[in-house]
Structure 1
């Protein structure tokens, strides 16, 4: 089994030759963060090891036998009446591995449909779904691997599309050093049927993450490096003069090495004074540079949240500040059905 998982991961990486930025690929909802905890940590994390089933969504290798019969429900009332969420369940089988199934969906709301002369043609709706089938196996005391198959269905008014994507992940953990590392190749796949006979790229991404917990203090630090299939994430606005006058960041291709490197990095820190309570903070440099307002950057790119356990349930909340105009609010509730037996 170990040999086959290595081969699958190697083939997937060699077949992935590029990545897409936002707006340059289809099914971009796959990159939305639904976990309140991960949202609070900056929006991306592939290396944290504990019993949170949400982490398996970001790296399938983080699905562990300790998550047997765990389930989670996430809900995000996003911006402009957009709502999305995730529901998932895990089951472990001895000498086989751990499986999970989840549904990630986004609803874009209702739209007024009109013809070319403005006549009312009724209501249009739009929604997308990803059905996540995950398998993970512990290969050694320190190494685990996993993969997620994701059939995708998208319905945008009268247009529809079906596709298939996969995530391949590896996780390394050194428990005695309080250190863990994750690598995941996300959203490798293709459209099976397109919206209007136009084939579009998938939002593929390669991420590497590191997590370190202090030995004698209740703090855990994480660094996630994302978008590694595309080094230069800067861009030039279509109308540079108007963009400059508006006060928003006017990016250009002559950004320095440090700026380009930081756009790949997401920083997170957790304060864990007890097993039943934690507080999370995150910083997303790229989000701040792209969405921040130069005259008043405020808290753009920053995120925070907390989690607490009540009875047999874990409740989490996360807030990520995108720009002056709004922030996202994330709600998660998880439990383990075995606790009720």
Structure 2
């Protein structure tokens, strides 16, 4: 019983990243893995500069310039939770470019106890996803791509498996430094539910991303519209009651509910920017409106919803770091390392 309660609380904590969570399973698929994406608000994917890490989210960015690229990413999340991925890309002239990788989310170790509190040992919990991506250019401006995901989850004695597909298309205009992408993510179903007969939906999402590099300033702006499959993302209490007292400050709260149309529209948008100082150094900043509205407290908003990071190239390696303020108690750190293995292969004489 205690094990079930622990797992339930754990998954609930992960799903609070977006309050639309709780209606689907495998929510770890929507976590931001890349330091670059995390620094720009958690949803920057419409940038065509041959970054293999963006291709993990948007397969239509996969191209032959990523051939032999390898990337690793690690996120020090909350408590003992951590997650990350490894990704590799290879191009075949006749069929297109491919990526292959693996994602994981490790919840850590838990104490297994019965309803009386007797210690029965320990157990672990984790989620995994194997990913194969394909991308192909249709012409000089349009490209398409897809990801195939095999999903496995193990929570104490409960296990589940599923399959999902991402489908995307990208328009890229190098002359105007403009890129636009349309993404349908996590189309699929559970193959084996955690409990017999209890099948759950996957976290399906429709997104549109735009990016523009300014002409006279070394700056790129990214705007992403998320969850276009649902207009109203406003959080509603599961019990239908608005708390009259702030649980942290014990001060009275306003009973009114946010229903303004402008607020509902803004909850879909994530803004990011990159200051491109050189080929070897850049700084990034992001703002997630929905995250700030849901995770801040009225008495102290702090920088909840904001994120920042940088990219640094040293020799053959690209290092990216990000820090995201998801709520007042903690800010996860993300580190991504990328390289081109071709640089280490000696060319024939």
SS at match of 1:236: coil
Greater than 3 Å deviation, 4+ residue runs: 242-254
Give the Å deviation of 1:252.
Answer: 6.7
CA RMSD of aligned residues (A): 1.7
TM (normalized to structure 2)? 0.89
Match of 1:228 in 2: 228
Separation of aligned partners in 2, 1:204 and 1:252: 31
Q: Deviations over 1:270-313 (max 9, x none)?
A: 00011111100000000000001111101000000001011100
Q: 1:250 to 1:129 in 2, by over 3 A?
A: farther
Aligned to 1:99: 98
SS in 2 for 1:326: coil
Residue 166 in structure 1 maps to residue 126 in structure 2: no
Distance 1:35 1:267 in 2: 16
Is the 1:52–1:67 Cα contact (8 Å) retained in structure 2?
yes
Sort the Cα spacing of 1:251 and 1:148 in 2 relative to 1 into closer, same or farther, 3 A: farther
| 8 Å contact from structure 1 (residues 244, 250) kept in 2 | no
Gap regions ≥5 residues in structure 1: 1-18
In 2: Cα distance, 1:253 partner to 1:298 partner: 22
Q: Which position in structure 2 is the counterpart of 1:79?
A: 78
The alignment status of 1:108 with 2:104, answered yes or no, reads no
| 1:250 positional shift | 7.2
Q: For the residues of structure 1 that align with 2:317 and 2:254, how far apart are their CA atoms? A: 45
What is the TM-score with the length of structure 1 in the denominator? 0.92
Alignment counterpart, residue 306 of structure 1, candidates 286, 299, 310: 310
Aligned residues: 323
Report what 1:55 is aligned to: 54
Distance 1:121 1:250, change over 3 A: farther
Gaps of 5+ in 2: 1-17
Does residue 266 in structure 1 map to residue 270 in structure 2? Answer: yes
**1:34-75, Cα deviation, whole Å (9 max, x unpaired):** 100100000012201112100011111011110000010000
| Aligned residues of 1:46 and 1:207 also touching (Cα < 8 A) | no
The match for 1:9 is: none
Is the contact between residue 183 and residue 208 of structure 1 (CA under 8 Å) also seen in structure 2? yes
Match of 2:331 in 1: 327
Q: Distance in 2 between matches of 1:330 and 1:113?
A: 30
Residues 138, 26 of structure 1: CA spacing in aligned structure 2 closer, same or farther, 3 A cutoff?
same
Return the alpha-carbon distance in structure 2 between the equivalents of residues 189 and 58 of structure 1: 16
Select 1:337's aligned residue among 316, 338, 341.
341
